């Protein structure tokens, strides 16, 4: 067996073994009354954009796609979701004090307006999460008004 073949066989074996290390796809419980949309009551257009482009990573209502069953992609997704919730969790927005809530809303203006969010890797897999410049402007304007 050639060296290249051994390496490929080893990588394949590692890939197969990795499939036994599954991520936890359980979403934390969420009190609907604390959700951003309930607390701030944005216009339907804004709420729909947030649900489509933000909530998978920034809430306790993540919907895991089919490819979240394949390691190491699943590990990467879980890490991004965990980090997203740590930065801003729309499901827990009602627990934020006034200062933290205002700061988080300013961050939304910066990252959405600056095209940092949603992340390109998320948008590639979720075509409906692509925000046009017009949609970004609507979100940014609404968040600035708050």
Place of tokens 């949609």: 135
| Domain edges within the chain | 23-145
85 Cβ contact list (under 8 Å, min separation 6): 57, 58, 59, 60
User: pLDDT, tens digit, for every residue of 52-110?
Assistant: 999 999 999 999 999 999 999 999 999 999 999 999 999 999 999 999 999 999 999 99
User: pLDDT, tens digit, for every residue of 13-29?
Assistant: 888 888 999 999 999 99
62 Cβ contact list (under 8 Å, min separation 6): 25, 27, 55, 56, 81
Place of tokens 């073994």: 17
> Which bin fits 12, alpha (ψ -120 to 50), beta or left (φ > 0)?
alpha
CA 63/CA 4 separation, integer angstroms? 39
Question: pTM of this prediction?
Answer: 0.87
User: Helix, strand, coil proportions of the chain in percent (round to 5)?
Assistant: 65, 0, 35
């Amino acid at each position: 067996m050639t060296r290249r073949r051994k390496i490929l066989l080893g990588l394949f074996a590692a890939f197969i073994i990795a499939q036994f290390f599954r991520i936890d796809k359980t979403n934390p419980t969420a009190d609907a009354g604390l959700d951003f949309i309930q607390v701030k009551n944005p216009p339907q257009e804004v709420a729909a954009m947030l649900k489509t482009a933000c909530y998978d990573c920034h809430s306790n209502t993540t919907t895991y796609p089919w490819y979240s069953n394949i390691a190491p992609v699943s590990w990467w997704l879980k890490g991004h979701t965990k980090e997203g919730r740590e930065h801003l969790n729309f499901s827990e927005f009602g627990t934020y004090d006034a200062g933290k809530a205002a700061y988080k809303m300013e961050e939304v203006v910066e990252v959405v307006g600056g095209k940092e969010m949603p992340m390109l890797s998320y948008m590639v897999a979720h075509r409906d999460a692509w925000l046009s410049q017009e949609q970004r402007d609507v979100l940014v304007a609404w968040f600035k008004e708050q």
